[in-house]
Amino acid sequence: MRSFRTLRLSLRFIIPLFIALTILAYAVVPLVGKLTLRWFVRDMDIRSQLIANTLHDPFVDLLRQGNKAKINALLLNVIRDERLLALGFCNEDGKLLYSTPNFPESLTCSSVALRDKETGPVFRLPKGSVHVALYPMDQDRLQQGSLILVHDMSFVERRSADTRKYIVMLFVLIGVVISVITVFVAYLSWRGWMDGVRAILRGEGILQPFKKPAVASEFQPLVGDLRILLRTFDAERRFADDATITWSPDSLRKLLHKQLAGERIIVVSNREPYIHIRGEGEIEVNRPASGLVTAVEPVMRACSGTWIAHGSGTADRETVDRHDRVQVPPEHPEYTLRRIWLTREEENGYYYGFANEGIWPLCHTAHVRPIFRSSDWQQYIAVNQRFADAVAEEAVSDDPVVLVQDYHFALLPKMIRQKLPRATIITFWHIPWPNPESFGICPWHEELLQGMLGSTILGFHTPFHCKNFLATVDRYLETRIEYESSTISRAGKLTMVESYPISIQWPSPWQETQPSVPECRNGVRDSLGLDAGHLVGIGVDRQDYTKGILERFRAVENMLKRHPEMIGHFTFIQIAAPTRSVLEEYAAFENQVRDLADRINQRFSTGSWQPIRLKVEHHDPEVVNRYYRAADVCMVTSLHDGMNLVAKEFVAARDDEQGVLVLSRFTGAAHELHEALIVNPYHIEQTADALYRALTMPDFEQRERMCNMRALVRDFNIYRWAGRMLLDAARIRQREKLAMRINHTS
């Protein structure tokens, strides 16, 4: 195929070349004919002159003697020369006195004399051309007549014809040689060019301008231009794609249909979106307190497909079919949940151990030491492999779109890639990414990075996390990194590292059914025995040491200390979902939270009023939503957080455009929700000031801030988060398909 294309290309040059050579040959051949004839005539002239000079004296002597016999004998003797055809002698009166037998009849003394002067020495006779020369024979300066020498010219014609033939052959030969060289050069160039294009398509050369160029030097200027073009084009297109679409479940579905040929999506996460629990007598369905589930579940409902997750509920096994699948949401099924069963040993090693005692503290700068055990690492590998096997089982094509979620599955992308080389793997890392030095603490940091680079797209919440990741890869792996376009090339495979700030469903799923804000306010206050005008603050978190719950309580304490007028008029409600309680660090943290709340409550409580209401139990999202709507202020004080969706959920819940968000600057959300009161949670007084300011903020300021934040959450909702990743995936798939086509056709 490649040779055929080369030949076709070369013909575009060869055909004009042959036409040009033919025209040239037509012009050159007659010229050469004339030239060679002129040379031969000159040779004949010289020859004739020589013969005439040699004959002169003996001939004149014989003439003087009048010895006709001897004259004839002399002439006959001379014409033995094979080229000399005939000799003749004309006297002064123009009469042919002597001639050899084959002297051409059509030649006369007068015609020869005349022709010689006017048109040159060549005569065309019926039997062929002859060269005729006339030389005077004189004695004692008295001319006796002229000797006529007739040379056969047929050999000249023969030679001219030969010359013409050789010239034509020479032209043909030149044409053939040039053609062969052209085809060869075209083949090499085409191959080089194609390799160049292929390298460019792979992103090599474009991606890493600082290291050894992957494409030939002649492509470097092109690569430079392409680099600029691609960047501009990509940025513009992504912006245009993003901005022009109103992101909703419907637009996401259309995108999948149009850009990804209706691919069914496979999601992999540790936490499942619906947990079946055996309650008293009957099975209950729980929605876990998980940012990941909050974000990804609406996407799955929009896209359908299969979600593979750990079946951790006490009644999970009872609710699946024989393939471990169950259709969810239970009340209105829209996609398949495929459950993976883990042994206690696997769960301890992979989930509690490596993921939550190792990677979790490693990636969060919350001053808890990570713990790495070889046995946990082995379980982490084994469980990742089990999920990779499940992905291969669930895939209905050899190029599925797989969305890998979070730090539980750093090895999974590579494992999936080994089973399904053509899969489009989008990995999203829901937690922060630390600097290279911190990440290097993990004994298996290289393996984790290699695993993640099996992804087609690797997503983080913020550009800062992307930058840290690129720097980490640069530090520990041999790769080619293009910082400007945030791409990593390794072993011929490209991973795009991009920030996709995660978000929530918009409009809120309870938009239609939720009670009004006054109802929620009254309901919550009534349940706590507070009067209608009582100020309420809310915190909603898993009970995790990264969430800054202790710092939050201290800020409440500090605010009450500095603003005693608030005592008895403000209550802070902390919803704390129990999490990872089997781990020592978490168990200790639960105690610290409880102890601190007790201490503060003891310090300030009056009568039945307590400043902090700690609710350590699972709350359904609808219930949490009511608390958001009831509160005057929401406090998000994480010490380090990838995004923190509580901040966005609070904003989405407040369709009354009231309420103030106090937000830690160490969350991803702080990069988007600029109208929140941004605090450093380690700075207790500052956070206390922000809390007080929130509680005393005028309505119009609350409205202005809330309106802006709501507009942002509306426009950058969860469908846009998924849509941007899927659009990028679709573009990469198209580029890979194009590269494959080029590979096939060349």
Contact residues toward ligand F6P (CB under 6 A) are 270-271, 290-292, 406, 430-431, 579-580, 642
Q: Outline where DSSP puts E strands in 475-522.
A: 480-482, 487-490, 493-499
Question: Are 271 and 292 in contact, with CB atoms under 8 Å apart?
Answer: yes
Q: Least Å distance between CB 450 and ligand F6P?
A: 22
Nearer to ligand F6P, 190 or 352 (CB): 352
Distances (CA, A) of 678 to 561, 571, 710: 21, 21, 17
Number of neighbouring beta carbons within 10 Å of residue 633: 25
Residue 450 or 579 having the CB closest to ligand F6P: 579
Positive or negative, the CA dihedral 366, 372, 375, 380 is positive
Q: In what order do the strands lie in the sheet with 84-91?
A: 96-99, 84-91, 142-152, 128-139, 122-125
Q: Which residues contact 547 (CB under 8 A, 6 or more apart)?
A: 541, 637, 638, 639, 641
Residue 30 vs 578, nearer CB to ligand F6P: 578
Q: Which is nearer to ligand F6P, 79 or 309 (CB)?
A: 309
In the complex, the smallest distance separating the C-beta of residue 405 from ligand F6P, rounded to whole angstroms, is 7
Q: Which is nearer to ligand F6P, 419 or 615 (CB)?
A: 615
Enter the tokens of residue 449: 């990075």
Min CB(623)–ligand F6P separation in Å: 17
The distance of Cα 331 from the centroid of its chain, to the nearest Å, equals: 41
Q: How far is the CB of 524 from ligand F6P (least distance, A)?
A: 24
Tokens for 193? 């060019």
Q: How far is the CB of 291 from ligand F6P (least distance, A)?
A: 4
**Nearer to ligand F6P among residue 646 and residue 713 (C-beta):** 646
* Closer residue to ligand F6P, CB minimum distance, 289 or 453: 289
User: Where are any strands of DSSP class E within 519-585?
Assistant: 535-542, 570-577
Tokens of 150: 């007739």
The full DSSP string for 39-54 is: HHHHHHHHHHHHHHHH
- Residue 58, preceding peptide bond in cis (omega within 30° of 0): no
Give me the residue label for tokens 């980490």: 472
Residue among 310 and 710 whose Cβ is closer to ligand F6P:
310
Which single residue brings its beta carbon nearest to ligand F6P? 292
Shortest distance, CB of residue 208 to ligand F6P, whole angstroms?
32
Least Å distance, CB 352 to ligand F6P, is 9
Written in H, E and C, the secondary structure of 683-733 is CHHHHHHHHHHHHCCCHHHHHHHHHHHHHHHHHCCHHHHHHHHHHHHHHHH
- Cβ proximity to ligand F6P: between 352 and 372 the closer is 352
Rounded least distance, CB 432 to ligand F6P, Å: 9
Q: Residue 625 CB, nearest distance to ligand F6P (Å)?
A: 17
